[in-house]
Amino acid sequence: MNIVIIGGSFAGISCAMETRKLHPKANIYILEKQSTIGFIPSGLNLTLNEEIEDITQAYFVTESDVRRANIKLHLDSEVTAIKADEQKITYYDHVNQEHKIMAYDKLVLAMGSRQESSILHDWSHPQLVTTKELQNAANGYAKIDKAQHIAVIGGGQIGIEVTEALVNANKQVTLIEAETSLLSRYFDQDVVDSVQEAIEIVGVDILLDEKVMDISGKSLKVTTTKRTLNPDLVILGVNLSPQSHLVADLLPLNEDGTIVVNDYLETAITNIYAVGDLVQTPTFEEEQAFIALVNNAVRSGQIAAFNLFEPRVKHQQSLRLIGSRVFSQYITSVGQTEIEASQHYEVSTVNVESPYSITISDPVKLKLITDSKTGKILGAQIRSEQDILSMADTIAIAISNNLTDQELAFQDRLYYARFTSTQPIIYLAALRSFENRLRNTK
């Protein structure tokens, strides 16, 4: 039994590892066009922040980890064609410089995503940096060392994290965002204001509501809808797109370039599956969307492994959990923002502040978003100078199980003297929401 996985992405690796546990006798192959696997896209930031000594240390898995699991890893192997009627793939071995053919019984597409931009005329521009792949990030690190003024395009999580890393490296940074606020996909304006203030305090020039129209010129010129900039370097923190070109003529694609799959991640062709950034994910209100997050990629890879021989596990809803530590603040978001939720519900919100714990007085601020009629929990946003990232998991479970503010408010929870509060902030927010709802119904 040959199970072939195209792509050593988060999704591809997780699928291979789970498949090995479920099918110990199967032959499992990973074909990856790069010369390495397991690179963490934030590796550039980790290096600039001196959290690791060298960018080559930024890995979530190593070649030896994969091979120890008895998974056959083919690096520098670029798949060029899929013959679905024969259940064979053709790939080019860049090391030996020859084309090879491999037969499969089950094929998993896990090619991931790539950074794209319709405004960029020359991806080989020496003053342009992308961060998703090791070689690009390593080259970028060397260029950053020589640059002084750096423009970061994109005020989402990627852009803000790299901005902080550049500030820590004593660079002058201009952050350009097309929307009217930073992190607008995940946070409401009232929550993100403190993040923006923290970024501006350290001297970053934030340009909001400015779309980059052109990046060109030997000396590098960045033209926005409002001005022209001449930075030494540009770092792209936007525009991930599915790498589905290999199957564009073989499988149906959605408008965003993702591959059409059923509930069990099988494509229109039997025995071919797609995972990770190649597929849309179920989201809110029975919608589907392209959400390029590591947590989604890992889950989809594991789910596909369970479905290779029979449909067992449906592709799970993404609550779009993100978390980060930027400019001394931990921030996390789960579920819908207030603006998003307002499109489907009459929304109520509560903003609660509470000490992190009995022994640590640093405040935690939580915004809880609910359906004003039923109390159904729709989303939450949390921030603090203390690590509150794991709180998002608790709220995600509440949303996934359709809990109301009342049900969450009186949910059993751990108490341990000196380490936990008698009223942890998640349950306190739910309690306040329930109180408000009762008052408003009288």
- What is the per-residue pLDDT across 420-430, written as a single tens digit (0 to 9) for each? 888 999 999 99
Looking at the structure of the chain, the number of domains it has is 3
Reported as a pLDDT band with limits 50, 70 and 90, residue 118 is low
Q: Is residue 420 part of a domain?
A: yes
Average confidence (pLDDT) over 15-19: 99
Task: Please give, one letter per residue, the 3-state secondary structure of 340-399.
Answer: HHCCCCCEEEEEEEEECCCCCCCEEEEEEEEECCCCEEEEEEEEECCCCCCHHHHHHHHH
Write the DSSP symbol of residue 314. Answer: P
Q: Is residue 278 part of a domain?
A: yes
Buried b (16+ CB within 10 A) or exposed e, 38-73: bbbbbbbbbbbbeebeebeebbebeeebbeebebeb
pLDDT at 177 over 90: yes
Average confidence (pLDDT) over 384-394: 97
Average confidence (pLDDT) over 361-389: 97
Query: Which of 274, 307, 340 is the C-terminal boundary of a domain?
Result: 307
Say yes or no: 101 and 175 in one domain.
Answer: no
Identify the helix (H) or strand (E) that includes residue 22. helix 10-22
Per-residue model confidence as pLDDT tens digits over 292-337: 999 999 999 999 999 999 999 999 999 999 999 999 999 999 999 9
- Return the pLDDT at 125: 77
Say yes or no: 351 and 411 in one domain.
Answer: yes
Number of CB atoms found within 10 A of residue 331's CB: 26
Q: Is residue 48 part of a domain?
A: no
Please calculate the CA angle 184-235-194 and round it to the nearest 5 degrees.
35
Average pLDDT, the chain: 94
- Return the pLDDT at 332: 98
pLDDT at 136 over 80: yes
Write the DSSP symbol of residue 70. Answer: T
Q: Which residue has the higher pLDDT, 120 or 358?
A: 358
pLDDT at 403 over 80: yes
Q: Is residue 212 part of a domain?
A: yes
pLDDT at 274 over 90: yes
SS3 14: helix
- Return the pLDDT at 60: 94
- Return the pLDDT at 151: 97
Q: Which residue has the higher pLDDT, 45 or 126?
A: 45
**Range of weakest confidence among 58-62, 124-128, 187-191, 386-390:** 124-128
Token pair of 385 as six digits: 């100078």
Reported as a pLDDT band with limits 50, 70 and 90, residue 442 is low
Average confidence (pLDDT) over 369-381: 98
Q: Domain range spanning residue 14?
A: 2-35+75-114+241-307
CA dist., res. 154 & res. 429, Å (int): 32
Say yes or no: 169 and 222 in one domain.
Answer: yes
Cut 0.85: pTM above it: yes
Q: Is residue 437 part of a domain?
A: yes
Q: Is residue 8 part of a domain?
A: yes
Say yes or no: 163 and 121 in one domain.
Answer: yes
pLDDT at 221 over 70: yes
Q: Which residue has the higher pLDDT, 76 or 422?
A: 76
Sheet harboring 377-384: ordered strands across? Answer: 322-326, 329-335, 377-384, 363-371, 347-355
- Return the pLDDT at 123: 65
- Return the pLDDT at 120: 67
- Return the pLDDT at 122: 62
